[in-house]
């Protein structure tokens, strides 16, 4: 229990990758990615995977290790990440985890909630309803069956809505009633470090990143993935909007503006999720490197002292 996982969170484009590499060097350790879209090798530009130089600067795990055509759930990631941590903690006292996918971060640090098995026909029916009636019909149904979860979920994510409705309909109980039950205790301590900045700065960084992605070839990447657009992995900001352009529904300028707008909304949801963790140490994104290291070093030392 004197092993420590440093989990670096915060909104997209805030500088999590950079801090992860800085800490990996300081602690002479390795990095696990908990960004659910960076798992997929076909989605390099639109998911802002670490650059070649960044990948060479520190050992990263769970970056582009799957194909979009391979099913890979948050449960799969929890299992694989815990196995990798067991391996890494044999060599290191501290391991770094970097990622903005809140559910995936929680899966590793806290464990997943468990749900009863539901007849697959329920999900099939919901998927058909999504195609026939659109996401709004499913949103209304979830609001009726589980208003508590409706307030907390990303209601623009059809996969999350269908998963919640599947449980509501299949069990006759609200999805939220299965959440936050006691879970298996981890064999390591977790230090949660969150990067934050004023909203205007976050939005500016997002806009700059989207422009950079377009310069790097995001449109060409989306074009190559059009035939796979119905896969869950591609229900992602940056691709959905460009598919609208490629279909002739939007102009390119409007699609880019929608990517920026939807990414800003995503960043807001990220912060809402991460702010729920009262144990997170929030650090200004613009702190000097040595200041960050001193703060985090002290927090790691405190956790290790608690374990002895």
CATH number of the domain to which 283 belongs: 3.40.50.300
First to last CA, the chain: 8
Residue 261 counted as domain residue: yes
Residues 70 and 194 in one domain: yes
Cα–Cα distance for residue pair 300/298, rounded to 1 Å: 5
Residues 216 and 250 in one domain: yes
Residues 55 and 105 in one domain: yes
Beta strands 281-284 and 189-196 are parallel
Q: Is 14 annotated as a binding residue?
A: yes
Residues 66 and 170 in one domain: no
CA proximity to 226, closest of 19, 42, 87, 53: 42
Angstrom CA distances, 245 to 211, 223, 250, stand at: 16, 10, 5
Q: Is 96 annotated as a binding residue?
A: no
Q: Is 100 annotated as a binding residue?
A: no
Q: Is 16 annotated as a binding residue?
A: yes
Residues 87 and 232 in one domain: yes
> In this structure, what are the phi and psi dihedrals at residue 60, rounded to the nearest 5 degrees?
-110, 145
pLDDT on residue 157: 82
Q: What pTM value is reported for the model? A: 0.85
Q: What range defines the domain where residue 140 resides?
A: 130-178
How many other CB atoms are found less than 10 A from the CB of residue 83?
10
Q: Is 116 annotated as a binding residue?
A: no
Residue 62 counted as domain residue: yes
Burial class (CB in 10 A: 0-12, 13-18, 19+), 156: middle
CA proximity to 29, closest of 74, 70, 61, 77: 61
Going by pLDDT thresholds of 50, 70 and 90, the confidence category of residue 184 is: confident
Residue 40 counted as domain residue: yes
pLDDT digits (tens, 9 = 90+) for 47-95: 999 999 999 999 999 999 999 999 898 999 999 999 999 999 999 999 9
Residue 122 counted as domain residue: no
Cα–Cα distance for residue pair 41/242, rounded to 1 Å: 19
Residues 81 and 187 in one domain: yes
Residue 250 counted as domain residue: yes
Residue 28 counted as domain residue: yes
Going by pLDDT thresholds of 50, 70 and 90, the confidence category of residue 183 is: low
CA proximity to 193, closest of 297, 264, 47, 306: 297
Structural domain count of the chain: 2
Q: Is 75 annotated as a binding residue?
A: no
pLDDT digits (tens, 9 = 90+) for 243-299: 999 999 999 999 999 999 999 999 999 999 999 999 999 999 999 999 999 999 999
Residues 241 and 292 in one domain: yes
Residues 85 and 209 in one domain: yes
Structure tokens at 125: 């029916």
Residues 174 and 188 in one domain: no
Report the percentage of the chain scoring pLDDT > 70. 99
Q: Is 13 annotated as a binding residue?
A: yes
Q: Is 47 annotated as a binding residue?
A: no
Residues 87 and 229 in one domain: yes
Residues 42 and 135 in one domain: no
Cα–Cα distance for residue pair 101/270, rounded to 1 Å: 8
Residues 158 and 289 in one domain: no
Burial class (CB in 10 A: 0-12, 13-18, 19+), 118: middle
pLDDT digits (tens, 9 = 90+) for 116-141: 888 989 989 998 999 899 999 999 99
Cα–Cα distance for residue pair 275/263, rounded to 1 Å: 18
């Amino acid at each position: 229990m004197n092993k420590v996982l440093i989990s670096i969170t915060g909104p997209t484009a805030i500088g999590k990758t950079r801090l992860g590499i800085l800490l990996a060097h300081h602690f002479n350790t390795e990095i696990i990615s908990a960004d659910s879209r960076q798992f997929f090798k076909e989605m390099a530009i639109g998911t802002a995977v670490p650059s070649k130089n960044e990948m060479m600067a520190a050992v990263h795990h769970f970056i582009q290790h799957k194909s979009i055509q391979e099913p890979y759930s948050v449960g799969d990631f929890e299992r694989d990440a815990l196995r990798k941590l067991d391996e890494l903690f044999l060599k290191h006292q501290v391991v770094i985890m970097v990622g903005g996918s809140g559910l995936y971060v929680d899966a590793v640090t806290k464990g997943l909630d468990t749900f009863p098995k539901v007849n697959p026909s329920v999900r099939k029916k919901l998927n058909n309803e999504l195609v026939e009636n659109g996401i709004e019909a499913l949103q209304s149904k979830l609001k009726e069956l589980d208003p508590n979860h409706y307030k907390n979920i990303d209601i623009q994510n059809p996969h999350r809505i269908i998963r919640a409705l599947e449980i509501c309909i299949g069990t006759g109980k609200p999805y939220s009633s299965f959440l936050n039950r006691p879970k298996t205790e981890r064999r390591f301590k977790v230090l949660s470090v969150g990067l934050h900045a004023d909203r205007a700065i976050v939005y500016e960084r997002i806009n700059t990143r989207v422009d950079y992605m377009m310069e790097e070839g995001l449109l060409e990447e989306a074009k190559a993935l059009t035939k796979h657009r119905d896969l869950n992995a591609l229900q992602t900001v940056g691709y959905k909007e460009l598919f609208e352009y490629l279909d002739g529904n939007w102009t390119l300028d409007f699609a880019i503006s929608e990517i920026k707008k939807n990414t800003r909304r995503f960043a807001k949801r990220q912060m809402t999720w991460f702010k729920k963790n009262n144990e997170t140490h929030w650090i200004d994104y613009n702190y000097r490197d040595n200041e960050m290291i001193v703060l985090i070093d002290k927090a790691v030392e405190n956790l290790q002292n608690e374990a002895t």
